[in-house]
Structure 1
């Protein structure tokens, strides 16, 4: 490749085999036609850029989904940190769980489980999220493990989890949860 500046002051780039001259010839033709070809190329480039931006924006998560995923992450972190108060902070005041478990009962159940086991782990699967106005349903499979701090957990179990969430003052709160063992 040869980079040189001609007397006119604009840099040129040419490859062996004349590729650079072909590009220069196309550019000269475009300028010679009153810039119509160059103008069409610019319009096409702008349209392609707009299409790319629209595609990227379409793939981005909506703010409610992102906030819900963050709330699920906070719940995951609170469980692994063995923080019953952190778990309760994500529960709505009218939370309902299996067999009539209420918010305070869920906090006590979490605290008992955390006192019983020195290590608690959660391995969540992919989230299946369904949105409705101000509400969401999240289903997932998760493996919960518990141990006494040794290298391997003392127990682990796979669960099917079905949760209901509600948007309260801009925050997602867990309003219902059902969990059933995957293997019996």
Structure 2
């Protein structure tokens, strides 16, 4: 029995479309990767992991009052020393992509305490700037304002 190739004028484009669809599914798009980076940053804070937090920041990170990358790490470490349990709850993120840069705004509720119940809680309006470098999103700027 001899197997003959299937010849169809529509099969080629169909296979090409299927291959492209599979390739697109293989790697999340820029917005999805950015949201994953934001979730990883949230997890780093909740896990009290200053190394992971610093790793999410760009070398040229800038925050309020000229806070740089090293200063952000020290600020996080001070909070981790003060509170044994740290919680972060993020509101819906408004993502605006602009090529390899993005702006993400959201509200964040931060809690800290020595036991299961928080000793302190605060709500912030947060605006962040991100840059994609070699497929990885890095936080380049952050501003936060306490909300009533």
Normalised TM-score (structure 2): 0.80
1:20 corresponds to: none
Deviation at 1:133, TM superposition (A): 1.4
Q: Residue 95 in 1 paired to residue 61 in 2?
A: yes
Of Structure 1 and Structure 2, the greater helix share is in: 1
CA distance in 1, matches of 2:86, 2:111: 6
CA distance in 1, matches of 2:64, 2:51: 20
Q: Give the number of the structure whose alpha-carbon radius of gyration is greater.
A: 1
2:138 corresponds to: 173
Q: Which runs of 5+ in 1 are unaligned?
A: 1-61
Q: Residue 129 in 1 paired to residue 95 in 2?
A: yes
Higher relative contact order structure (alpha carbons within 8 Å, sequence separation ≥ 6): 2
CA distance in 2, matches of 1:106, 1:71: 17
Runs of 4+ more than 2 Å apart: none
2:85 corresponds to: 119
1:32 corresponds to: none
Of Structure 1 and Structure 2, the greater strand share is in: 2
Q: Residue 82 in 1 paired to residue 57 in 2?
A: no
Please provide the CA RMSD for this pair: 0.8
Normalised TM-score (structure 1): 0.65
The number of residues matched between the two structures is 121
